[in-house]
Structure 1
Amino acid sequence: MSNTTENAMTIATPVGNSIPPNHTIYVNNLNGKIKKQQLRKSLYNLFVSYGRVVGIIAMKGVKMRGQAFIVFDDIQNSTAALRSLQGIMFYDKPMRLSYAKRDSDAIRHSKDQIAEKTAALAATSQPEPKQRKEKPRIPPPPTQPPPDRTVHEQHIAMMNSEEVNRAANAVAVAEAELQELPLRDRTRRIQSVIAAQTTLIGTAVPMMTEVQSNSTLFVTNLPNETTREALEELFHQYSGYLDVRLVPGREGIAFIDFDNEIGASSAKDALNGFKISATNLISVSFAKK
Structure 2
Amino acid sequence: MSKEKMEGVVYSSSGIPITTLYVNNLYERADVSFMTEALRTIFQEYGEIVDVVMKKSLYRKGQAFVVFKDPTSITKAMSMQGFPLYDKPMRLAPAKTVSDATVKSEGDEEQLEQHIRKRKSDKERKQAKLAQEAQKNAPHAPGAAEPSKARPAKSAAAVIPDEFLPPNKILFLQNIPSDIDGDELTTIFERFPGFKEVRSIPSRAIAFAEYDTEQNAITAKEATAGMAIGAEQKQMKVTYQRK
Interval of TM-score (by shorter of Structure 1 and Structure 2) = 0.3 to 0.5
Question: Structure 1 or 2: larger strand share?
Answer: 2
Question: Structure 1 or 2: larger helix share?
Answer: 1
Larger radius of gyration: 1
TM-score (ref. length: structure 2): 0.35
